[in-house]
Structure 1
Amino acid sequence: MIRIKRTNSDNGDFQELVKALDLELKLRDGEEHVFYAELNKTDRLQYAVVAYDQEEAVGCGAVREYSEGTMEVKRMFVPLSKRGHGIATAILTALEMWCRELNVNRCILETGRNQPEAIGLYLKNNYTIIPNFGKYVNSENSICFEKELLPDTLIYCQQKAAIC
C-alpha cells in the first residue's frame, strides 16, 4: 500500500526525487530546460508530499500559493519504473486534500507538451486545460490546467489517500 507523507521541500527524499525529475525534464525539454528550471525551484515549498511503498520513496509533489484561494501544483514526479500503479493519482489526491484543508478551492498547474503521461494524469483526474498563466503565457511548450476543488472533494480525497 502506498503511504503519503506530508513534509516540505527540505525533506531528503523529496530532494532526491526532484533531482531525478530534473534529469528527466532536461532530456525532454532540451534547450527550453533553462527557462523551466528557473520556474521550478524547490526552496521554501511549505506543502510537499512524498509517496512511499514500504520504506522506498516512489514519488513526490507539492503545492504553493499562487493567489488567494488558488494553489499551484509543482514538482509532480514518479520514477519511470514505478509508473502505472496509481502513485501519481494518490499524490495528486493528497495534495488536493491538503489544499481543501487550507480552504483553497482551486488548483492550477503547468506541464510540458513533451510529457504525455502528465497530461493524461491531469485529464484523468478532472483537470481542464486553461489559457497559459503567469510566466507560461508565451511558452508554446506549456499546457496549463485547473481544477475547482468542490466541498465534497475533501471527503473523496480522504477515502482515496492514506495520509500521515
Structure 2
Amino acid sequence: MPLHIQAEPPDSPIARALIAELDAVLEPLYPPKSRHGYSVEKLIQQEVAFFVAYLDGQPAGCGGVQLFGEEYAELKRMYVRPAFRGQGVGKRLLAHLQAYAYERGLRVLRLETGIFQTEAIGLYQRFGFRRIPPFGPYFEDPVSLCMEKRLA
C-alpha cells in the first residue's frame, strides 16, 4: 500500500495515540514552559485541521495546520513514528500541510519546535524554512526555535 494522508479528528483513538507518543518524546527533553504543543482539546477548540499519514495501512505520523486569519498558518503537532522515519512520510506530510495552507490563501507558514528535534529541523530547512524571532505566544527560549517559510 502507498502512503495515504487523511483528515482525522484530533480526538480519534489513532490521533490521540500519536499525540501521546509525541508528548512522551518531548517531555524528558524540555521543561514544561518550553513545551507548547496543543492538547487534543485545544486542537479541537482552535479548529486545527489535523491529518494522519498511513503507510501500508499503519498510522505512521500526524500533523496539523492552524490558520491565523489571512496573516499566516502554523504547523501543529507534527510527528512521525520512529519506525517510519526515512521512508518519506515526513516529507509527504509536510507537503500536504503546506498545500492545505496555500489552498486556503495563506502565503506564510510558521512553526515552533525544540532544538533537540534535529531530524525535524533538517526536514524543515530542506523545505525552505528559515529561523525567525519568536512570534505569537512564543518567547525567547534557549531550547525553542521558530521558523517560517514563504509559500509561492
TM-score, normalised on structure 2? Answer: 0.89
CA shift, 1:138, in A, is 2.3
Structure 1 residue ranges (4+ consecutive) displaced by more than 6 angstroms after TM superposition: none
Structure 2 counterparts to residues 15-164 of structure 1, below 5 A: 15-29=16-30, 32=31, 34-37=32-35, 39-43=37-41, 44=44, 45-150=47-152
Query: Are 1:4 and 2:2 an aligned pair?
Result: no
CA shift, 1:9, in A, is 1.5
- Secondary structure of 2:137's counterpart equals helix
For the aligned residue pairs, the C-alpha RMSD in angstroms reads 1.6
Q: How far apart, CA to CA, are the structure 1 residues paired with 2:52 and 2:67? A: 19
CA shift, 1:133, in A, is 1.5
State the one-letter code of the partner of 1:88.
G
CA shift, 1:27, in A, is 2.1
Q: State whether residues 7 and 46 of structure 1, in contact with CA within 8 Å, keep that contact through their aligned partners in structure 2.
A: no
Query: How many equivalent pairs are there?
Result: 147
The structure where helix makes up a greater share of residues is 1
Q: How far apart, CA to CA, are the structure 1 residues paired with 2:64 and 2:146? A: 16
Q: 1:72 to 1:16 in 2, by over 3 A?
A: same
Q: List alignment gaps of at least 5 residues for structure 2.
A: none
Q: List alignment gaps of at least 5 residues for structure 1.
A: 151-164
Q: 1:141 to 1:66 in 2, by over 3 A?
A: farther
Q: How far apart, CA to CA, are the structure 2 residues paired with 1:124 and 1:38? A: 23
Q: 1:69 to 1:38 in 2, by over 3 A?
A: closer
Q: State whether residues 70 and 105 of structure 2, in contact with CA within 8 Å, keep that contact through their aligned partners in structure 1.
A: no
TM-score, normalised on structure 1? Answer: 0.82
CA shift, 1:41, in A, is 2.1
Q: State whether residues 51 and 63 of structure 2, in contact with CA within 8 Å, keep that contact through their aligned partners in structure 1.
A: yes
State the one-letter code of the partner of 1:100.
Y
Q: Deviations over 1:61-106 (max 9, x none)?
A: 0011234231110101011121111111111100111111211111
Alignment correspondent of 2:15: 14
Alignment correspondent of 1:154: none
CA shift, 1:2, in A, is 0.8
Q: 1:124 to 1:11 in 2, by over 3 A?
A: same
